[in-house]
Amino acid sequence: MIFETLGRAVVIFAVAFAVLLVLALLFCLFIFHTNRIIFPNFVLFATSLLYEPLRRLLSFFRVDPTLIDRVSVEIRNALNYHEFAATRVDERVLLLPQCLRSPECPAKLSAVDGLHCAGKEACGRCAIAELSAACEELGVKVFVSPGGTFAKRILLQSQPKAVVGVACYNNLAEGMLNAKLVGVPAQGVPLTTPGCVSTTVDIDKIIEKCKMQKETK
Ligand code: SF4
């Protein structure tokens, strides 16, 4: 009797797992191909719960597994829009990844507040200088982060009202979740060329996000 009950429970669990996996996959593909966000909270829940199985399934069908992170980032951008856009521009921070630096970067990395860029005049070898100059005019604080733990600490210490994060899709999805956990609405902008060094970004898109305010009709 006990084995029969156990057997049934295993079958029910396996069916529920398979249904959730297929639904999550279909919703992700729909969102990715149509840019229309449906059932955002369900998709975020299912993709967090089944992150690895979904990635493996996509790889099996020779589809780029970062699709899961792309969809998560787009959903979080949409869900956070109103809260983010309601904040003042000068109460926001911009978190940049240190992989943007040039290999010849002369700046020192501080464990306390990240990288101190030498600026456009003194160096200007990467996008950090231009973004720092533009953000200084806007009143947006810029931090160049060596990793996720640093980024989370900066959010807790500087207590911004909102954050714009820049990273590869994978780190962006994780970073936006961390921002939500510490109560800071985030907008994410993916790298245009991901990697470990000399990555690139769309500077205009980042500035646009930093300045984003609620649309008035
Ligand atoms: S612009 Fe700033 S961050 Fe970029 S390489 Fe030069 S000093 Fe380093």
- With respect to residue 33, please indicate whether it lies within any of the assigned structural domains: yes
* Centre of ligand 1 from the C-alpha of residue 132, in Å: 10
Does some domain include residue 83? Answer: no
Burial (CB < 10 A; 0-12, 13-18, 19+), residue 130, is middle
What does each C-alpha distance from 133 to 70, 120, 121, 181 come to in angstroms? Answer: 29, 8, 11, 30
Looking at residue 152, which CATH number applies to its domain? Answer: 3.40.50
Given a cut of 90, whether residue 31 has pLDDT beyond it is yes
Cβ neighbours for 120, distance < 8 A, ≥ 6 positions apart: 129, 130, 133
pLDDT bracket for residue 217 (50, 70, 90): low
Atom 5 in ligand 1: residue holding the nearest Cα: 105
Q: Are residues 174 and 101 in the same domain?
A: yes
Query: Structural domain tally of the chain?
Result: 2
Residue 216 has pLDDT above 70, yes or no: no
| Domain span holding position 197 | 89-211
The residue-averaged pLDDT of 5-21 equals: 90
- Distance from the alpha carbon of residue 133 to the mean position of ligand 1, in angstroms: 12
Ligand 1 atom closest to the CA of 144, numbered from 1: 3
Q: If DSSP codes are grouped into helix, strand and coil, which group holds residue 143? A: strand
Distances from the Cα of 8 to the Cαs of 5, 16, 19, in angstroms?
5, 12, 16
Atom of ligand 1 nearest to the CA of 117: 2
- How does residue 83 score in pLDDT terms, banded at 50, 70 and 90? very high
Q: What is the mean pLDDT of the chain?
A: 92
| Pair of tokens at residue 14 | 């396996």
Q: Does 100 lie in the same domain as 40?
A: no
Instruction: Judge whether 185 lies within some domain.
Output: yes
DSSP letter (8 states) at residue 200? B
Is position 80 within any domain? no
**Alpha carbon distance 43, 212 (integer Å):** 25
* 40 and 125 belong to one structural domain: no
